[in-house]
Amino acid sequence: MKRLTYTILAIVALIATSCRNEDIIFIPEEVEVARPEFTSVQGFYVLNEGNRGNNKATLDFYDYTTGVYTRNCYAKANPDVPKEMGDVGNDLGIYGTRLYAVINCSNKIEVMDKNTLKRLGQIEIPNCRFIKFHKGYAYVTSYAGPVILDPNYEQLGYVAKVDTATLEVVDKCLVGFQPDELEIVEDKIYVANSGGYRFPNYENTISVIDIATFKEVERIPIAINLLSVKSDRHGVLWIISRGNYYDIPSNIYAYDTRKHRIVKKMDIPASACWMDGDSLYVVSTQWSYVTMSNEVSYAIINTETQQIVTRNFITDGTDKLIQIPYGIAVNPITKDIFVTDAKDYISPGRLYCFGKDGVLKWDVRTGDIPGHFVFLGDTKTE
């Protein structure tokens, strides 16, 4: 059913952008991949990171109402923006009527209309990483310093508080070294400090920020090189540690914010995860400098029982098609599972759609290093 169609709009966008100081122009493309579906979820965006230094972050969109996947739709909506999205897309979020794309090495957050993708503004934050929203504000992690590997790196990271009405940074709170994902639970912000630039002297803590005072009130030791933190409906944080790529493997830890302690170590690797109800979907591409190879795995954790439900949610053997599983998302209504493949981190990636039974439904080419999702529409299931 796949049918590639270059639209007239794509040609117009190409002509309109052909004078961008010889920058590479990515042509918008539309691909019909599935039958239309009509639920409260209209579609989803995919942020493609692009390799660092190549200015190749792009934004794709899948429209459930048409079954069409559109590549590089930001460029089509904003033909006059120099250098398009920028260098390394790192996170994506919707708040109110706006879509926010965190562009790491371009030191900015692109703010767009969530439906038209027309650019509304830009927030400048150095080495920005992840974004979350709470009561009119966006909270953004920042490495703060330059991209340098140094075991004695001295620049602490911070969380920026952004007024979503004015798009101005109104406050900053220092945390640990190289803070990555953050989560908000009961008026506290939990920040995963990685210390990634300080290899082999990684960080091992979660910073806790009181939202009311916007001060760090605690640092909780978890494990080294933290990446991701997701909250469940039981007051538990699910935290990914990447390990050290040698003798300390990646792992997932469950930290109970009410009991103030780690309540479970899952003993499974993880590089990305997605929370859907009481299910944590996990993909892992665990690199080892000992074997000089990746170990790939897929799992689902029941966050209520804190037990592993399956160690491979892809049931038809098509996991063998995926070279580097990189990003994951789950449709909150249909429960379709989406897994991205970063391939060799240089070539265009691929997006795979699996039904809730783990059987492949469709797949499509994406931009380079597809890694981050956000659903458009009403995603509430209760």
Secondary structure of 258-295 in HEC code, one letter for each residue:
CCCEEEEECCCCCCEEEEECCEEEEEEEEEECCCCEEE
Query: What confidence score (pLDDT) does residue 380 get?
Result: 76
Give CA–CA dist 202/226, Å, rounded: 9
Three-class secondary structure of residue 346 per DSSP: coil
Asked whether 49 and 35 are in contact (CB, 8 A), the reply is: no
Give CA–CA dist 275/348, Å, rounded: 26
Residues 73-122 pLDDT 10s? 999 899 988 778 999 999 999 999 999 999 999 999 999 999 999 999 99
Asked whether 9 and 18 are in contact (CB, 8 A), the reply is: no
Three-class secondary structure of residue 164 per DSSP: coil
Q: Considering the entire predicted model, what is its pTM? A: 0.92
Q: What is the mean pLDDT of residues 285-290?
A: 92
- Give the closest residue to 275 by CA, choosing from 306, 334, 232, 228: 232
In this predicted structure, the answer to whether residue 8 has a pLDDT above a threshold of 80 is no
- Give the closest residue to 179 by CA, choosing from 152, 151, 200, 198: 198
Question: How many Cα atoms are found within 13 Å in the side-chain-facing hemisphere of 228?
Answer: 25
Amino acid at 40: S
- Report CA Rg, the chain: 20
Whether the ω angle into residue 200 lies within 30 degrees of 0, i.e. cis, is yes
The Cβ of residue 347 has, within 10 Å, a number of other Cβ atoms equal to 12
- Region for 40 from its dihedrals, namely left if φ exceeds 0, alpha if ψ lies in -120 to 50, beta otherwise: alpha
Query: What confidence score (pLDDT) does residue 124 get?
Result: 98
Query: What confidence score (pLDDT) does residue 82 get?
Result: 78
Q: What are phi and psi of 199, to 5 degrees?
A: -45, 130
Q: DSSP per residue over 114-174, as a string?
A: TTT--EEEEEE-TTEEEEEEETTEEEEEE--S-S---TT-----EEEEEETTTTEEEEEEE
Q: What is the mean pLDDT of residues 364-374?
A: 98
Give CA–CA dist 122/50, Å, rounded: 19
* CB contact set of 169 (below 8 Å; sequence gap of 6+): 123, 124, 125, 160, 161, 162
Burial class (CB in 10 A: 0-12, 13-18, 19+), 69: buried
Asked whether 359 and 316 are in contact (CB, 8 A), the reply is: yes
Q: What is the mean pLDDT of residues 167-196?
A: 98
In this predicted structure, the answer to whether residue 13 has a pLDDT above a threshold of 60 is no
Percent of the chain surpassing pLDDT 70: 92
Query: What confidence score (pLDDT) does residue 306 get?
Result: 98
Residues 293-323 pLDDT 10s? 999 999 999 999 999 999 999 999 999 999 9
Amino acid at 132: K
The Cβ of residue 96 has, within 10 Å, a number of other Cβ atoms equal to 10
Query: What confidence score (pLDDT) does residue 27 get?
Result: 61
Residue with token string 């270059």:
6
Residue environment code for 184-203, b if the CB has 16+ CB neighbours within 10 A, otherwise e: bbeeebbbbbbbbbbeeebb
Give CA–CA dist 358/299, Å, rounded: 11
Residues 256-286 pLDDT 10s? 999 999 999 999 999 999 999 999 999 999 9
Percent of the chain surpassing pLDDT 90: 87
In the DSSP assignment, the letter for residue 11 is H
Sequence-ordered alpha helix ranges (H) in the chain:
8-16, 73-77
Query: What confidence score (pLDDT) does residue 83 get?
Result: 74
Q: What is the mean pLDDT of residues 236-248?
A: 97
Q: DSSP per residue over 108-126, as a string?
A: EEEEEETTT--EEEEEE-T
Instruction: Identify the bridge partners of residue 297 per DSSP, sorted by sequence position.
Output: 284
316: its two tokens: 């038809």
In this predicted structure, the answer to whether residue 53 has a pLDDT above a threshold of 90 is no
Average pLDDT, the chain: 92
Residues 20-41 pLDDT 10s? 344 444 566 899 999 999 999 9
In this predicted structure, the answer to whether residue 3 has a pLDDT above a threshold of 50 is no
